[in-house]
Homo-oligomer: A and B are copies of this chain.
Amino acid sequence: MNPKIKWLRNQLDALKLEGMLVTNPVNVRYLTGLDAEGFLILAPKATMFVTDSRYIEAVNSTLTIDDEIIAYDRRELTKYDYEGFFMTCENIGFEENYVTYADYHKYLQKYQVSLVETEGLIEKQRILKEDDEIDLIRKACLITTKSFDYVINNIEYGMTEKDIAFMIEKEFVKNGADGLAFDSIVASGKNSSMPHAVPTDRIIEPGDIIQFDIGAKYKGYCSDFSRVVFVEELNPSLKDAYLFVKEQQKLLAENLKDGANIKEVIKERDLDFEKEKYDIYHAFGHGVGLEIHEDPVLRDNVDTILKEKTVIAIEPGVYDPGRFGIRIEDTFLVGKNGSEPLTNYSKDFKIIHLK
């Protein structure tokens, strides 16, 4: 049997659940490796993937006999099939954080069984990455930094933020990525002060800073990476802010390690921000995996002990609205003695030259 399905079935046994509906597509992909629309029915005697005719050919060519997953075109299934899947069951798990209020009521009718909340069972398991998942994230990170290095050395006079965002995506794909893990941020000059800036038609000028926040996706897995570069010259008024952010990220990475409580690590950094009179505009980071934002969030109210093999993006940033923003971010693998960067790229002041 597919080992992840086997793990899930053991968990369900322990929770006295006789089956589960897995409808969150990210969890379906995590459990099965399938990249197709559909959902999983874990019934007592069989695991079924219900998809539609658009995907059935692709799904059947991906699943192996060892998976012990039967694929169905949803048109083959009748009302009575659905009622029959859990006929012998009393309680079935469902994903209350994904299923809508309306669908919950539909499922009750359709499956004629009690649905029990599973409290992010699969999401929690996804926090701890397996070795093959870490390899895929590492590859996504490598594609990201390699592409970034190419892009910042090939920006031409007259290029806009949008042009650069395009060049990034093209490099990602050229270097083997599925595509973007999220919409790239390329924010120049005062646009950098918006943490979620969208690339504009603003032309890059000497004297600008450019804030990048980018990440490639590889075989479904994400990477997350931010750097600021200085165009043609270092802006001396931003030096202190830059060094502050760099130092904060270093301290976060040192302290976010196996056994650390997230809120305690973050609270120490909050104090530094307060001391320097910088407002905190967003969390200091988040888990990364099949989704760009996963658990755990790195906030001062998250009372969670970090464990080895968690992958997190650490991204402190300071902002002066309407003037500038500086954020440095890497994707890290949490280890015994601190977090190891998977996006390996210099954080020294970087001056780029337009071509």
**Chain A residues within 8 Å of B, Cβ to Cβ:** 35-37, 52-55, 57-58, 94, 96-102, 104, 117, 162, 166, 169-170, 173, 179, 183, 193-196, 198, 279, 281-282, 321-322
Contacts and interface: CB of A to CB of B under 8 A. Distances in A.
Number of copies of this chain that the complex holds:
2
Contact of A195 (B54, B99, B195, B281): B54
11 contacts: A35-B198, A37-B196, A53-B279, A54-B282, A55-B196, A57-B193, A96-B100, A97-B100, A97-B102, A101-B117, A166-B170
A57 B100 contact: no
A194 B100 contact: no
A52 B98 CA distance: 22
Nearest to A319: B53
Contacts of A193: 57
Contacts of A98: 100
A199 to B, nearest CB: 9
A282 B117 contact: no
A52 B299 CA distance: 15
A76 to B, nearest CB: 13
Contacts of A169: 166, 169
B194 A58 contact: yes
A282 B53 contact: yes
A55, A57, A99, A101 interface centre (most CB from chain B within 10 Å): A101
Most B CB within 10 A of own CB, among A35, A52, A53: A53
A100 B102 contact: no
Given A100-B97, A101-B100, A173-B166, A196 B321 contact: no
Give 10 nearest A-B pairs by CB, closest first: A96-B102, A54-B195, A96-B101, A54-B196, A101-B104, A53-B281, A97-B102, A57-B321, A99-B101, A101-B101
Contacts of A37: 196
A52 B101 CA distance: 25
Nearest to A105: B96
Nearest to A322: B57
A99 B100 contact: yes
Nearest to A104: B101
A321 B59 CA distance: 13
A355 to B, nearest CB: 19
A154 B52 CA distance: 35
Nearest to A193: B57
